[in-house]
Structures are given as C-alpha cells and as structure tokens.
C-alpha cells in the first residue's frame, strides 16, 4: 500500500456546509490559524447550498488552483466532494462535522477538528478506489433496502442529541419489513436471485458506530465488496449482528462476494443510499469501481488498517512529493 508524503504548503479550499457547523467564524479562524502557522496560504472558503451540497464548490476550488480540498460537513458534503475530485490530482481531506461521517470513521478520525487538521498537515496522502453510481461517486459504500430505510427513518433531531445511536431507532422501525425480490449480477457471471433485506456494496468496511461489516474490504484493491443480508426474524437479526460484532469468518444470513461491476435489480422501487446519504428510490442499482481515482489525506503513521498504512503489511513504500 502506497502512502505518499507531501512536503511544503499547498493551496487549499474549504467546502463547508454551514448548517452542520455550530459557529462558522470559529471554524474559519481555527482552520486558517492552523494552516498559516505552518506557512500555508489562507484557504479559500466555499459554502454549500440546498441546491449544491458541495460538488460545484469543489470543482470551483480546482478551477481556482486548489491542490487540496477540505470537506467540512456531513456525509452528503463529503460524497459531493468525492464526486467532484475523483479522477484528479487534487487531494481531499475530511473535517468531520455531521453525525454519520462514514469516511471519517473509516479513516479512524473522531469528530475532533484539531485531529482532522493534524492529518492534513502531516502530509499523508493515499490513492483509493471509488465506487460510481451514475454520475455520482462514493468512497465508502452504496446500499439498497434496509440500510436506506434506516437512514430515512432516522430523525435529524435525534442525530443532533445522541449522535450515531439515533440510527438504532431508525433501524428498529424496519426490522420486520418484507424482503426484496432481487436479481443480482456480478461482473460477467450468471445472475442469481435472492430475497434479502439489504444489499451493501462497499469500498471499505465500517458502518455507523464503527461496526465492521465487510472484513475483507480494502480501499485500493480495485474491487467492490458485496454483502447480501437475508434475515427473516428478530432472532436472525440478532445472530447476524452478533456474528458481525464477533468478526466471524462466516456470519449467519449474510453472503459476501467481490466484483468490479455490481448490478442489482428489484421488482419494485427500493430506497437507496450512497455513503450514508439517501438518493432517489429506484428498481436498479448499478455500481462500478474506479480504481485509485481519489487522492485522500490519511493519518501518518498508521492508526487504521483500512485507509491508512497497514501496520502488518510486508512492504511500505514512502514517496516524497514536492
């Protein structure tokens, strides 16, 4: 796994969702002071809008010469920036501000702004794959079914007060929903039918609350990891959850696969999500992988085996980029 080290200051831009930030002035002052103290130029500041959650702002930052975009908002803001920056040489940094923060969780980051800025200034950069659904890209996972139902049922007010635990309440409301009727095709292999509760297509493996669903998922292997979850009863859900928590090789009521192209077709429209952000319901979810399309700021030295250095890897390649 290649982690590059960037030395010297970079031109940067902050794409911020002002709704997710308690005090925008404090944020601007904190970020600007941290960067300029290390000799970096003052960053550009671009606020998201209801109509544009961050993709347009990130593209504008690139046009204006930014070498680094800092995304400060929820999962929707981060995903919009991933979509805009994938395929470019402009790096993305995550400054957690929302509740889900799926990419931040997979980076091993807390919601602490100072930690996020430290990662930026350490200079660790790593190229990771992204998944693509239509014109949108994601860094963590896409899903159809129960997981999207859970997101839709989760109260914004509850998320503000109790954080990721609010998703539990949303999940409970849909534990007894009917299974889906799906036809799934992986690459050019013969399609097969299933009646699952949800299908997750992941680039990395951690869910809200740090639960690791896809134990073999790696962000730079050029593959998507697929989990098909088919519990029928509350007992099934309990066995599945316990198996995931225990990190068992074989989890009851869960099948896993890998592919570079995943097509999921349903008999009726289903809720869908990308990186913890709802997209329009649909009968079809086609996911492809874009290998090593995103340059991401990562902690250095390693703290997490998913998106930072793998401490157990045999080889470590360090590159100085100037």
Q: Where are the domains of the chain?
A: 2-130+292-321, 137-289
**DSSP code per residue over 309-320:** --TT-S--EEEE
Cα Rg of the chain (Å, integer):
19
What's the distance, CA 129 to chain centroid? Answer: 11
Q: What pLDDT was estimated at residue 322?
A: 33
Helix (H) or strand (E) holding 130, with range, is strand 124-133
Q: Please say whether the dihedral angle defined by the alpha carbons of residues 31, 34, 37 and 38, taken in this order, is positive or negative.
A: negative
Query: For the chain, what is the total number of helices (H) and then of strands (E)?
Result: 9, 16
Enter the CATH code of domain 2-130+292-321: 3.40.50.10330
Angle at CA of residue 318, ends 313 and 322, nearest 5°: 160
Q: How far apart are CA 299 and CA 3, in angstroms?
A: 10
pTM for the whole structure: 0.85
Which pLDDT score is estimated for 212?
Answer: 82
Q: How far apart are CA 85 and CA 117, in angstroms?
A: 19
Question: Residue 313 has what pLDDT?
Answer: 34
Convert 41-59 into a string of H (helix), E (strand) and C (coil). Answer: CCCEEEECCCCCCCHHHHH
- pLDDT at residue 131 in the model: 97
Diameter of the chain measured on Cα atoms:
58
Rounded to whole angstroms, how far apart are CA atoms 201 and 154? 21
Helix (H) or strand (E) holding 96: strand 91-96
- Rounded to whole angstroms, how far apart are CA atoms 82 and 212? 22
Q: How far apart are CA 35 and CA 27, in angstroms?
A: 12
Sequence-ordered strand ranges (E) for 155-302: 182-186, 192-194, 198-202, 224-229, 254-259, 261-274, 277-297
Residue whose C-alpha is closest to residue 14's, from 66, 87, 51, 65: 66
Q: Which two tokens stand for residue 202?
A: 């992941």
The CA distance from 22 to 19, in Å, is 8
d(CA 104, CA 162): 18
Residue whose entry in the numeric block shows the structure tokens 């049922």: 153
pLDDT digit of tens for each residue in the chain (322 aa)? 577 788 778 999 999 999 989 899 999 999 999 999 999 999 999 999 999 999 999 999 999 999 999 999 888 899 999 999 999 999 999 997 765 577 877 777 666 788 889 999 988 999 999 999 999 999 999 999 998 888 776 666 665 665 656 666 666 776 778 899 999 999 999 999 999 999 999 998 887 666 788 888 999 999 999 999 999 998 998 898 888 888 777 899 999 999 999 999 999 999 999 998 899 999 999 999 999 999 999 987 654 555 544 433 323 333 333 3
- Indicate the CATH number for domain 137-289: 2.60.200.40
């Amino acid at each position: 796994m290649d982690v590059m080290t960037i030395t010297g200051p970079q031109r940067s831009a902050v794409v911020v969702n002002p709704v997710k930030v308690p005090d925008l002035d404090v944020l601007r002052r904190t970020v600007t002071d941290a960067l300029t103290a290390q000799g970096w130029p003052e960053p550009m500041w671009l606020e998201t809008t209801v109509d544009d959650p961050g993709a347009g702002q990130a593209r504008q930052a690139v046009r204006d010469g930014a070498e680094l975009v800092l995304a400060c908002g929820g999962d929707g803001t981060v995903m919009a920036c991933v979509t805009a920056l994938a395929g470019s040489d402009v790096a993305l940094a995550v400054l957690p501000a929302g509740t889900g923060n799926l990419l931040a969780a997979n980076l091993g980051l807390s919601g602490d702004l100072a930690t996020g800025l430290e990662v930026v200034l350490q200079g660790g950069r790593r190229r990771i794959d992204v998944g693509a659904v239509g014109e949108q890209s994601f860094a963590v996972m896409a899903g159809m079914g129960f997981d999207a139902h859970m997101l839709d049922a989760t109260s914004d007010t509850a998320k503000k007060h109790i954080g990721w635990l609010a998703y539990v309440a949303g999940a409970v409301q849909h534990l007894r929903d009917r299974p889906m009727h799906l036809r799934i095709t992986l690459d050019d292999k013969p399609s097969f039918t299933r009646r699952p509760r949800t299908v997750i297509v992941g680039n990395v493996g951690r869910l809200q609350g740090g639960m690791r669903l896809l134990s073999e998922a790696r962000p730079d292997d050029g593959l998507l990891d697929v989990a098909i979850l088919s519990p029928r009863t509350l007992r099934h859900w309990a066995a599945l959850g316990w198996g995931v928590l225990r990190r068992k090789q074989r989890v009851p009521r869960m099948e896993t696969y890998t592919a570079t192209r995943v097509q999921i077709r349903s008999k009726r429209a289903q809720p869908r999500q990308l990186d913890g952000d709802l997209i329009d319901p649909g009968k079809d979810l086609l996911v492809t992988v874009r290998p090593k399309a995103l340059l991401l700021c990562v902690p250095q030295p390693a703290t997490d085996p998913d998106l930072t250095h793998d401490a157990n890897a045999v080889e470590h390649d360090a590159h100085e980029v100037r």
